[in-house]
Structure 1
Amino acid sequence: MRPYRIDIPDSELEDLRTRIASTRWPAAVSVPGWERGVPADYLRELATYWQSTYDWRAAEAELNQYPQFITALDGVEVHFLHVTSPEPGAKPLLLTHGWPGSIVEFLDVIGPLSDPAAHGLDPAQAFHLVIPSIPGHGFSGPVTEPGWDVNRVAAAWATLMQQLGYTDYVTAGGDWGSLISLALAHHAPDQVKAAHVSMLLTVPSGDPAEFENLTEADGARLAGLGRFDAELSGYMKVQSTRPLTIGYGLTDSPVGQLAWIVEKFHDWNNGVKTADEQVGRDRLLTNASLYWLTGTATSSAQFYYESGAHLGAIFTPGVAPDEVTVPIGVAVFGQDPALPIRAFAERDYPTITRWSEYEQGGHFAALEQPKLYVDDIRKFVASLG
């Protein structure tokens, strides 16, 4: 385990700007809206800002204010933030990002969670934070060897927490971070005190009787899951079957990489706002820059290929997930296009002890609604006693 500091060479930043300026743009399709993908005018304007105005060095300085480390886990080098709280009674909390997210997802919650007194919150609920990058993502990549799936990452996280001396901790995350958190709780229930998730995929079991007591709102959520599968999951089908093919284009074109990412930030808040309105333009571009500057488009896509069986089981009616015996907290952010049905969730995870719902916020909860996210984690952990 060794300290790490981000320091991207100027030559790589200049190369990024040159590539953006040299983008070969496709012929515009005169159809308004996002139904066919990212609108050309929107993407051109965002790319121009990325090239001429966005300040990576400011983002780099913000990231570097937190202690960072590299450690070897199961044959690969993993990057993580380790932010210890000044509060003597702080509890360890492991936060895991998703795709196409990164550790940037948690930048706005680090302060309130680790040093609540400095943010006007009760210091009795404070956390030591461990925020790793999934192998193949960010500065934990690129990873070229196969086999890194959800369960392998969960096992690596258990080792990481042991290396740091944490034997009793809470795990949390969204997107892949939710799946990894639940897998970790299954893998190491002797270490994990509880799991908090801001995404939970629920599907019918196949028993027609399950539908008898569903509400109209539940029906809308089922329809949302159907829309996700039919219209919004193209990225998943590509990355879980042909990650190398899509990876060539994403690794060679920063605008292509930006479009691939920004579409998800738009779609996964139900298009309520454009992506840069929802999370902030600079935050969005810091996240995209992290993928570009670390060259992890392909290796992050590979994670879908490796975890294909895990995803397939989740979307298959009648297949029960791995048992989780520790308390689970579920935070539902209403602008996410694939919302869980509580009856199905409690069928699959009987240890759910907290269920909260918010109208605002979508798939990237910690980034979109940091105050709500912090409050929900604090209340969930406080409820554990």
Structure 2
Amino acid sequence: MTEFPFEISIPDEKLVLLQKKLEVTRLPDELEDSGWAYGVPLEDVRRLLERWKTGYDWRKHESQLNSELPQFTRDIHVDGHGTLNIHYIHKTSEVATAIPLLFIHGWPGSFLEARKLLPLLTKPEGSVNVPKFHVVAMSIPGFGFSQSPRTKGFRLEQYAEVGNKLMLALGYDEYVTQGGDWGFPITCRIAKMYGGTYSKAWHTNMPIGDVPESTTEPALTGKEKAGLERTSWFRRASVGYLMQQSTQPQTLGYSLSDSPVGLLAWIYEKLVTWSDAYPWEDDEVLTWISIHWFSRAGPTASLRIYFEADINTAFSVPEPRPTIPLGLSHFPKDILVFPQSWTRDMGNVVFQQEHESGGHFAAYERPEYLADDLRKMFGKGGPAFGVVSGKTGYADL
């Protein structure tokens, strides 16, 4: 399992094809004064399309990503599914005793979700008394520049197997994990399958809770009621994508793989409505979308996780629940927002933090909040301090 340095280098012919497709885009009509009620406003898509055609410079952003992110690929054998070439970021700290951390992104994200978090964990400015981390941000199979599974039945256990084998191949016999969205069920399976042996603790910014059976539960606060209203909105008005991707991903894939603006609208809707008033810049959005458009297997591959993972059970903690330490970060504008009293039974919860702002893409929207939570959980005096043998995160210990 040799490691190879990797740089993003999209062939010129793919850029030419993208430009041709943008030039012949046919936009739909729109009802007057509809705003966001029917989906992404035509005005937004028209503006982004124009920028993509005439002003956006992919080569500039490609170069920035290559200079900023140390990227690699490595072949990982997956039992029953052959060998997959996996793309990942591996950013190490100067502190030899830094804590190895595996970051798992979700959909419609990619390795870009870890971009702002990396410097805060590996080399925070002016912070000598906080733990440092070695961070591995994997492009999960079928996303970004990782190879896609070629056979059916690639479930959460297989994604977990890839993550664990990658960390072992990098020399991290013990490590901790962090993830939201699909990062939650994948890190949960890592904790269940490899917890105690290799995986020593896990953290998620997407805590999942069940309605308590007890009638003696304390009354909900205003914030908790607002969180449940957010959850109700998502389940009522924002799950159409989930039903399609979990039942007929191939059918949707033809549109997303052929129309860059179709892909743009499909994902841009989630970036805006799932975040907490994050000020998305047009080039920022287009870079996010371009990673999907130029991905190794194409946009369809990333949809299949919804089908293969069994969406009815994926976002729950299986029994028996992992016993290794679990940390939870609550963000008010995530798509599923539950009271802390509902999430404390997800496992061996040793840390919970509620934030005043932030949404579904916490590592990207509020990286400083998430980094601080990880430092508190794994730092001196924290409930998971010292879980990785000989890796305290501090140079002076």
Task: Report if TM-score (shorter chain) is over 0.5.
Answer: yes
- Tell me how far 1:219 sits from its aligned partner: 3.7
CA distance in 2, matches of 1:67, 1:187: 29
Match in the other structure for 2:391: none
Deviations along 1:7-50, whole A, 9 cap, x unmatched? Answer: 11122112212211210111222233212110001111012112
Structure 2, unmatched stretches of 5+, are 386-397
Which residue of 317, 327, 331 corresponds with 1:333? 331
Which amino acid in 1 is paired with 2:208?
A: L
Indicate conservation of the 8 Å contact 1:141/1:296, yes or no.
no
> Is 2:207 the partner of 1:200?
yes
- Tell me how far 1:211 sits from its aligned partner: 5.5
Match in the other structure for 1:109: 117
> Is 2:87 the partner of 1:86?
no
- Tell me how far 1:213 sits from its aligned partner: 4.4
> Is 2:259 the partner of 1:253?
yes
CA distance in 1, matches of 2:309, 2:318: 17
Trace 1:84-233 onto structure 2 (pairs within 5 A).
84-116=92-124, 119-122=125-128, 124-189=130-195, 190-204=197-211, 207=213, 209=215, 213-233=219-239
Indicate conservation of the 8 Å contact 1:333/1:360, yes or no.
yes
Indicate conservation of the 8 Å contact 1:3/1:68, yes or no.
yes
- Tell me how far 1:167 sits from its aligned partner: 1.2
Which amino acid in 2 is paired with 1:67?
A: P
- Tell me how far 1:268 sits from its aligned partner: 0.6
- Tell me how far 1:159 sits from its aligned partner: 0.9
Counting aligned pairs with the same residue, the percent is 36
> Is 2:243 the partner of 1:243?
no
Q: What is the Cα-based RMSD across aligned positions, in Å? A: 2.0
Indicate conservation of the 8 Å contact 1:141/1:299, yes or no.
no
- Tell me how far 1:138 sits from its aligned partner: 0.7
- Tell me how far 1:354 sits from its aligned partner: 1.2
Which amino acid in 1 is paired with 2:49?
A: A
Trace 1:257-268 onto structure 2 (pairs within 5 A).
257-268=263-274
Which amino acid in 2 is paired with 1:186?
A: K
CA distance in 2, matches of 1:59, 1:178: 29
Would the alpha carbon gap of residues 322 and 80 (structure 1) be closer, same or farther in structure 2, given more than 3 Å must change?
farther
> Is 2:383 the partner of 1:377?
no
Indicate conservation of the 8 Å contact 2:71/2:89, yes or no.
yes
Deviations along 1:201-257, whole A, 9 cap, x unmatched? Answer: 22225x363656444543443333222112111111100000000000000000000
Match in the other structure for 1:72: 75
Match in the other structure for 1:43: 45
SS at match of 1:151: helix
Bigger drift between 296-305 and 236-245 goes to: 296-305
Indicate conservation of the 8 Å contact 1:221/1:341, yes or no.
yes
SS at match of 1:209: coil
Which amino acid in 2 is paired with 1:196?
A: H
Bigger drift between 355-364 and 252-261 goes to: 355-364
Which amino acid in 1 is paired with 2:44?
A: Y
CA distance in 2, matches of 1:246, 1:32: 25
- Tell me how far 1:265 sits from its aligned partner: 0.9
- Tell me how far 1:124 sits from its aligned partner: 4.9
Give the TM-score of the pair, scaled to structure 2.
0.88
> Is 2:55 the partner of 1:53?
yes
Deviations along 1:187-210, whole A, 9 cap, x unmatched? Answer: 1111112111111222225x3636
Match in the other structure for 1:291: 292
> Is 2:355 the partner of 1:358?
yes
CA distance in 1, matches of 2:255, 2:299: 9
Which residue of 3, 6, 16 corresponds with 1:4? 6
CA distance in 2, matches of 1:169, 1:214: 36
SS at match of 1:85: coil
Structure 1, unmatched stretches of 5+, are none
CA distance in 2, matches of 1:9, 1:132: 23
Hey, which of these two has a bigger chunk of helix by percent?
Answer: 1
- Tell me how far 1:320 sits from its aligned partner: 5.4
Give the TM-score of the pair, scaled to structure 1.
0.91
Indicate conservation of the 8 Å contact 2:103/2:178, yes or no.
yes
- Tell me how far 1:163 sits from its aligned partner: 0.8
Match in the other structure for 2:389: none
Deviations along 1:320-351, whole A, 9 cap, x unmatched? Answer: 555121111111111223212212211232x1
Indicate conservation of the 8 Å contact 1:201/1:314, yes or no.
no
Indicate conservation of the 8 Å contact 1:183/1:322, yes or no.
no
Bigger drift between 69-78 and 183-192 goes to: 69-78
Match in the other structure for 1:305: 307
Would the alpha carbon gap of residues 340 and 380 (structure 1) be closer, same or farther in structure 2, given more than 3 Å must change?
same
Indicate conservation of the 8 Å contact 1:104/1:286, yes or no.
no
SS at match of 2:9: coil
Trace 1:24-35 onto structure 2 (pairs within 5 A).
24-35=26-37
CA distance in 2, matches of 1:172, 1:140: 19
